[in-house]
Amino acid sequence: MPQAKQMPMVRWYDPLQLIRTGMEVAASTLFGRHGDFRLLEALAAPEISVDDYSSVGADESMWIDYVADVGDGWNSTYAIACALAQPNLTLADERGNRHETKRGAILVFGGDEVYPVASRSEYKQRLVAPYECALRNTQPPNPSVYAVPGNHDWYDSLVAFTRLFCTREWFAGWQAKQTRSYFAAKLPRGWWLLGTDVQLDSDLDDRQIEYFKLVAKAMAPEDRVILCNAEPHWIYAQIYGEDDPDYNENNLAFLENKVLKRKVAVFLAGDLHHYRRHEAGDGTQKITAGGGGAFLHPTHGPDVSTLANGNFKLKQSFPDPGTSKSLSWRNLLFLFSNPLFGIVSGLLYMLTAWSVMVDLTGYGLGQFGQALRVAFNAALNSSVAAFWVVTVFLGFWLFTDTHSRAYRVVAGTVHGLTHLLAVFLLGWGATRLAVVMGPPFHSTPQLLLSGVLILIAGWIVGSVIMGIYLLISINVFGRHSNEAFSSLAIEDWKNFLRMKIDPQGNLTLYPVGIRRVPRKWKARDGGVGPEIVSADPRATGPELIESPVLIRK
């Protein structure tokens, strides 16, 4: 059978990708807010379906797998898919103890099942293909699969997601069970598995609330819940809640306290592409496990050592904050890791210099202050230049990662001024060089030659400034976690969560990590199992991120 195409990691800073993503986000935000697809789902499947997995033998354990933020590059996505597909997986913890685990009878995708934007072809190439390759040749029994939609799944109004996960068809070697974008499953010994759909605005619609109210009525008083959300609202509430009241846990708190009556023992979410576990004094867990294939997110930056007024304490991170901080220094090589981004900065530099159009050829470096004043006055006296500069500043303000207006103005202004200073210096130098080469100022040859020089220099300098800005933002101010690491497209430090409900009704969590995914693959030499296996001697196998976490019945 021919091998599937091995897709590279998404290059988020490539100009075409920036344009495409921006258009998809704008369209999905506009139409998602005014046309909620979840209402159509509820009308199409009005029955309240709860899949029952509670009939497990008295001396048997049930296993569940959870993975989020998948469907990016082949190496990272397939490495996790291979680990999930193994019928048995022996894992060592930090003390060297070995733990025998089994493939889950249920696999839960915890959100953002594909990148960069949802479409039938992207799902097929970036998600279905690696999972088919991993499980197609494995032995029965075949597990079930459920999926929580994330914001990237909503970028086509959930059309491709619904076709793949909500029609009870086969997904690779797993069978899809849900009929809506949210779900409920009854597990053995008083445990329940619930998955929500918070759409694009962290919103639980009325039909979904009614669905979970009916599910809650079927629960016994002592039952407990594993709740899967697309986003770790507990993290965002800690980071942004002070500056933005909309970033709070109202939806989550309402579902937990009013609907489920505080039965949630484990909160699970992806969206942030790392592993973090917070624990309350009563043993309740809030776990971010978004390491299924997408680029790594940092575990350093904003202080999340405690959550919910100190009720939850950070117990483990993967990678550790020190490693995360050292990885962020790769932004000094932003120019080389994102070579096409320079097209954007180079064009902006060239257009900004052309909009001012002032002759500074008579000024030397010793007259820097005078030359700067002349350029500033020229910009003020030109309506086109003034409008363009203000527009550029607005762009930098909007780009700034914060919900604080004061921080946005200060950080955005400093970032914008740095680029404008670079434009001034490069434009000044390019104009002098072009005039020295012969063409008089403002002639067509001089404008073209200066423009090319500014474009090339802006390609380099603009990329370097962006890398430095991202490095300082994440390491000093704890901002731009997403932008500072999407620029690096790190495919290592992947994770998923394996869970076991034992015969006594205890739930054990096994957080599984892979430090370095393979870069090379080879065909399997016969037998059952994944179609291709690692051919990279530097790759590391699955291991426990921390010792198993026991939640007693």
Angle at CA of residue 21, ends 16 and 27, nearest 5°: 130
Label residue 310 left, alpha or beta by phi (over 0 means left) and psi (-120 to 50 means alpha): left
Q: Has residue 188 got a pLDDT over 50?
A: yes
C-alpha to C-alpha distances, 100 to 57, 91, 528, nearest whole angstrom = 19, 7, 20
Q: Which residue carries 């998948």 as its tokens?
A: 70
Answer whether 0.85 is exceeded by the pTM.
Answer: yes
Of the listed ranges 31-35, 205-209, 340-344, the least confidently predicted one is 31-35
How do the residues of the chain divide into helix, strand and coil, expressed in percent and rounded to 5? 45, 20, 40
As given in the structure block, the two tokens for residue 52 are 């029952």
- Whether residue 241 contacts residue 248, with contact meaning beta carbons closer than 8 Å, is answered with yes
pLDDT level of residue 29 (50, 70, 90 thresholds):
low
Indicate the helix (H) or strand (E) that contains 170. Answer: strand 170-171
pLDDT at 359 over 50: yes
| Residue whose pair of structure tokens reads 């009308």 in the numeric block | 43
- Show Cβ contacts of residue 541 under 8 Å, excluding neighbours closer than 6 positions: 514
| Beta strands in 281-427, from DSSP E residues, in sequence order | 285-289, 306-307, 312-318
* Model pLDDT for residues 482-513, shown as the tens digit of each residue: 999 999 999 999 999 999 999 999 999 999 99
Q: Average pLDDT of 290-314?
A: 93
Q: Is the peptide bond before 319 cis (omega within 30 degrees of 0)?
A: yes
Tokens encoding 343:
């097209």
Percent of the chain with pLDDT over 70: 92
Instruction: State pLDDT tens for residues 135-144.
Output: 876 667 778 9
Q: Rounded mean pLDDT of 145-172?
A: 89
pLDDT at 333: 97
* Structural domains in the chain plus CATH codes: 49-319+493-551 (3.60.21.10), 331-484 (no CATH)
Largest Cα span, the chain: 90
Tokens of 290: 């978004």
Percentage of the chain surpassing pLDDT 90?
58
